[in-house]
Chains A and B, each alone.
Chain A
Amino acid sequence: MTSDALRDIAYRLPWRSSSVRNGTHRSRMTGGGGVFKDLAPLINQPDPRRLALRASLADPFETLKVKRLEQSTAISVYVLVDVSASMAFRGETNKIEIAADLSEAISICASRAGDDFGLIAFDLTLRPETFLSRTRSRSAHRDAVAKLRSLNPTNAGVTGISEAAAMLVGPRKLVFLISDFLWSDDELKYSFADLAAHDVIPIEIDDSRQIDKLPDWGLLRLYDIETSTRRLVAMRPKLKEEWRRRRNARRASLHARCAEAGRDAFQIKDRIDWDRLSSYLMYGYAA
């Protein structure tokens, strides 16, 4: 994808960071400038420049009060990309391509907001060649995204997410989890448990060729790229409906897990709807 099509996105945190570095996000820290936070006695906060005249006069005990201001801070943004074999499926889109586009947009957005950006690809284990620890270097971001774009998913399994979670030590981070989420319920449960300390934004990449655009009638010999099993399927409307039902059941369990973790999953079907994505990132839900 060229950068022309790459839209500007923004994200907002529904929580306050306790990071000490200056940035653009609301925090629990007080500092030199920004939004009013609270009042404190001058004894505790000996900064007479911020003396709150009205509050001091109104205080029956005649204590001198000082305004405390909220220090906006920077956070770390990580993108975790599932590159297990199932992500190699090419229907309407190339899922890895979509994941790379998203990562690129997020990296630009993060550096514009002054946040660190890190990228971790995982399958059965971590994929060390695309590993990018949090950094503000734009060129490092670009390299990591380029490596992700050229990555060829071959290994099955998603257990590498625990290793990825172990890399995200320290204060709370914003974590984009990009996957097709064709995971078992256990895998979902343990993955979200591993990432519980962070703000996880699950982004599901779906393809209409997986269910919606399957032929109604016909013989399909399908090869499961995740498990390497082969199966002949005599597709008919009844069976297709059954498949759709199962897929929806799995999606429902994904949404249940996401709701437990705090954020609903964002679904990308065939192409990225940047406006919907921005709206989702700003307000927590997609219109």
Chain B
Amino acid sequence: MIFTSPLWLFALPLALLPLVFGAQQEQAYPSLSEFETDPLSGTIDWALRMAGITAIAGLILGNAGIAWSEQSIERIGEGAHIVLLIDRSSSMDNNFAGQQTSGGEESKSAAARRLLKDFVAKREHDRFGVAAFSTSPMVVLPLTDHKSILFAAIDAMDRPGLAFTDVGRGLALAMKMQAQDPSHASRAVVLVSDGAAVIGRRLQDSLRTEFARQRTSLYWLFLRTAGTKGIFDVPASGEEDTPQVLPERHLNKFFQSLRIPYKAFEAENPEAVAAAIEEISKLERMPIAYNEKVPRRDLSRWAYAIAAAGLFILLLAKLFERGIGPNGGRYGAT
């Protein structure tokens, strides 16, 4: 509770004035001693005094600029801090058959977008961040629980993508975003991509360190285009087995070697993507505590509203006031 002009508070004792003075004109009467006090009148008297106190106190507090100070509230939710790491390479704009979309066909990015939005909408207590990567990674949205911003960020995937797929730096960025959040929530990175790339040896080492430090789950949602090599394809004997030839297989092997909770989903059509997302949402159910900042809230309008209510009651009482003198005239106390 703070006040923008606290000097006004010196006037606050004035609020006690209604205890001493009534709002109505006093009228001399010969003798009241023979009449018993009337409970209803007593209640009204008390209520009017209270109304007077509220009116004066409300006006003073309103002038003093009463407000709630900025606060941070700790909330406990079930869920996780999830960074959606989304591939923005141009191949995402193709359909699952690897062709340019035409007519009613859904591109991979559109399917991913639709399903991710469903996912986000279902997970009420999670906080999400969004990062995108193609040639270089970029933060789209830091971790937040404001769903409308999230939807907008996911919609932003719609923009036409760029050529390359730099998974390694994307992951590094996602880990950095997670590291910025100091809470003890369970963490997850959902990597959505339709291809893989070679991660350099040096970057591999740094990622290994990061994942070991932060205990982050990793889900890889691989939107496989028909006819391309899959994650789990074992090359036939005699075929070359190098990251350059089979980047997906080797990236998967790299993730498995991280010794973190890791699961890869290979989805070849929108239904498979939906199933994969369903599974991720089953896996990530841990209670999390997080702080939410509440900005300073100005309460002076409420103070004025309460004062107005008090004044309204007093005004009503004034309208109902009657005199006992001739023609409703009023007499002083003596």
Are A219 and B31 neighbours in the complex by a CB distance under 8 Å?
Answer: no
Are A92 and B324 neighbours in the complex by a CB distance under 8 Å?
Answer: no
Q: Is A70 an interface residue (CB 8 A)?
A: no
Report A-chain residues with C-beta under 8 Å of the C-beta of B323: 215, 220
A: contact size bracket: 35 or more
Are B322 and A219 neighbours in the complex by a CB distance under 8 Å?
Answer: yes
Are A214 and B333 neighbours in the complex by a CB distance under 8 Å?
Answer: no
Stretch binding the partner chain, chosen from A37-45, A47-55, A230-238: A230-238
Most buried by A among B45, B321, B324: B324
In Å, the complex CA distance between A209 and B328 comes to 10
Q: Is A115 an interface residue (CB 8 A)?
A: no
Report B-chain residues with C-beta under 8 Å of the C-beta of A221: 22, 24-27, 321
- Of all chain A residues, which has the CB nearest B40? A234
Chain B contact residues: over half helix, strand or loop, or mixed?
loop
Are B321 and A218 neighbours in the complex by a CB distance under 8 Å?
Answer: yes
Q: Is A137 an interface residue (CB 8 A)?
A: no
Are B326 and A92 neighbours in the complex by a CB distance under 8 Å?
Answer: yes
- Over the window 21-63 of chain B, the binary record of Cβ atoms lying under 8 Å from chain A Cβ atoms (1 yes, 0 no) is 0101111111111110110111011001000000000000000
In Å, the complex CA distance between A87 and B30 comes to 7
Are A223 and B322 neighbours in the complex by a CB distance under 8 Å?
Answer: no
Chain A contact residues: over half helix, strand or loop, or mixed?
mixed
Are A239 and B29 neighbours in the complex by a CB distance under 8 Å?
Answer: no
Q: A209-B324, A232-B48, A234-B38 are in contact. Are A88 and B25 (CB under 8 A)?
A: no
Are A246 and B28 neighbours in the complex by a CB distance under 8 Å?
Answer: no
- Of all chain A residues, which has the CB nearest B31? A182
For chain A, residues 227 to 266, give those with C-beta under 8 angstroms from any C-beta of chain B: 227, 229-235, 239, 242-243, 246-247, 250
Q: Is A222 an interface residue (CB 8 A)?
A: yes
Report A-chain residues with C-beta under 8 Å of the C-beta of B324: 91, 209, 213-215, 220, 222
Most buried by A among B30, B41, B321, B328: B30
Q: Is A226 an interface residue (CB 8 A)?
A: yes
Report A-chain residues with C-beta under 8 Å of the C-beta of B33: 184, 224, 226-227
In Å, the complex CA distance between A231 and B43 comes to 12
Report A-chain residues with C-beta under 8 Å of the C-beta of B6: none
Report B-chain residues with C-beta under 8 Å of the C-beta of A224: 29-33
Report B-chain residues with C-beta under 8 Å of the C-beta of A104: none
Are A222 and B26 neighbours in the complex by a CB distance under 8 Å?
Answer: yes
Partner of B321, one of A182, A219, A226: A219
In Å, the complex CA distance between A231 and B27 comes to 10
